[in-house]
Amino acid sequence: MTRTEIDTRLTALAEHLRHTATATASQGTPGGIPSGTPGDPVTARAPGAGHPDPRLMSIWEVTTWVLDISAEHLRRVLRAEPGLPQGRTAGAAAAAPEAAPEDGRGMRWFTPTEVARLRTHFIQVRAGVSGRRNRGDTGSGAGLGAESGGGSDGGPGGGSRPVPLVVLAGPLGRTGRTTALLHLAIAATLAGRRVLAIDADPGARLTQVLDPILTPILAQNLIQHLDPNLDPDMVGTGAGAVGPQSDVLGLFARGGLAHLRRMNTDRLDRGEAPLAADPALTMAAGAAAAAGGPLRATAWPGLDLIGAGPGLLLADLRLAAWRRALRGWQPAGALRSAVQAVAEGAAAGPHDLVICDTGPGLGPLALSLIGAADLVVVPMLSSVMVPGADRAMSADLAALAALATALQTQRAEDQLLAEALGLGQAGQGLGRADGVPARLALLPAAQGAGGAGGGLSVPGGVLLLPGLPFVPEVAAGQVAHLYDLAPRGAARIAYAPRRDACEAAWAGLAGVLGL
């Protein structure tokens, strides 16, 4: 096959990916609130509003889990404060976002941005502060705002300590990592935390859920990763060229390029010729440092995303090659430093939490992410969590054992490097806070509503988080996560305990991280 034929096929592949993702994003979920039957769970959406299909939240949901006030009290406040978001009725939401609010007899619905403004208002009222903005409120709902976490009080995101990095990992596929991350990240955002989600899975399901518009943009990364010397403007991408967009590989590359510069400085001091940079390294680092950076806002205020694309399929090969070429370079330390810089330097304000999704397997990409993490969370299906099961024959528990072995190997390598550098303790100077190695936590997934994996015997030193619920609509592929549902009528009876379980899982994680 000639080079021209290869370029032609790669261009056709990128165009196909772009067309498919664009068609999916344009179809989306029908605007407004489907009528359905009163007892059926539905997906509430608002047309337009600056992001594909922003989620609508009912006044029942807002007052039960976000504001912790009664619906009647919220209605009284809205009548007294016409400048606050007034919401909309089901019929008005389907007709137009700017329609008039309910007359007191119907159910009001709010966008996440409107909920952010309401939450900020009530935080200010409770604190007795008038006219002063909460840290998380940018005037456009860029963050829900943390009641306790401010940059000046030493709380999360204030710069007094590194932003915690949580990595959801596991050697096997289809164990619920992405779904678990979505539940935890959105729960944290609704609790007032600014969250940075990183999609390090080449399958890119997290990216497809949180930012479907990004998928066709990242399709071009496949061509650039396969041939870094190819001019992006020469790639056939339909109406126009798409600019570079960084994924997690770009964060590694930034550290790798800085390490190469230090190596070349030393070589020049010794009178030796400098080493040439791998074009893939330069390209990835340049995308990560491009204008606007790698962050993209999502429909959930306060939740930002570093997306994934087909280019991550080559991440393991790239990392292995870079580590061979860059003597002494530690990908885990480089990643952690880059993540901290991105999380703390976000334009909308520093993040309180970074949470990362990974693909199946324990290749260089996954191991580097695990090595950079403060906490490694392993979702496990409920069938494995049943006490008395034949754990010796369980593929899930065998995978857990493999992950534990990988963690131990990573810690041993860190310790050897620390001793060689005279640091004394593994982790210090290598990017991890205070030299403390990553901890391992199990997260029961697909439990019965309110389940928490009770009765499970876990190895010493391994944490057990409250379990996430089984959501039939997620299992059936109707929605991507529980927070995409807007139940009405009788459906609330089944929804409420599942929502409580998601909130409890986040509270358990926040307690472990000290947030």
Cβ partners under 8 Å of residue 47, min gap 6: 31, 32, 53, 96, 97
> In this predicted structure, what is the pLDDT of residue 240?
33
Q: How far is CA 396 from CA 173, 370, 384, 388, 401, in A?
A: 10, 18, 7, 15, 9
> In this predicted structure, what is the pLDDT of residue 198?
95
> In this predicted structure, what is the pLDDT of residue 238?
34
Mean pLDDT of 266-282: 90
The Cα 351–Cα 340 span in angstroms is 9
Average pLDDT, the chain: 73
pLDDT(387) > 60? no
More confidently predicted of 480 and 103: 480
Q: pTM here?
A: 0.77
DSSP notation for 475-487: HTTS-SSGGG-EE
DSSP notation for 63-120: IIIIS-S-HHHHHHHHHH-TTS---B-HHHHHH-TT-----SSS--EE-HHHHHHHHH
The Cα 503–Cα 467 span in angstroms is 10
Where along the chain do its domains lie?
Answer: 3-30+135-513
CA distance from start to end of the chain: 55
pLDDT tens digit string along 131-160? 444 444 443 343 333 333 443 333 344 446
pLDDT tens digit string along 328-340? 888 988 899 989 9
pLDDT(109) > 50? yes
CB 279 within 8 A of CB 228: yes
For residue 227, the SS3 value is: coil
| Lowest model confidence (mean pLDDT) among 321-330, 442-451, 505-514 | 442-451
Beta-strand relationship, 353-358 and 165-168: parallel
> In this predicted structure, what is the pLDDT of residue 430?
40
> In this predicted structure, what is the pLDDT of residue 485?
86
Measured in degrees and rounded to the nearest 5, phi and psi for residue 464 equal -120, 115
> In this predicted structure, what is the pLDDT of residue 451?
44
Q: Does domain 3-30+135-513 have CATH number 3.40.50.720?
A: no
CB 228 within 8 A of CB 221: no
Q: What percent of the chain has pLDDT over 70?
A: 62
pLDDT tens digit string along 412-434? 776 776 677 665 555 443 444 44
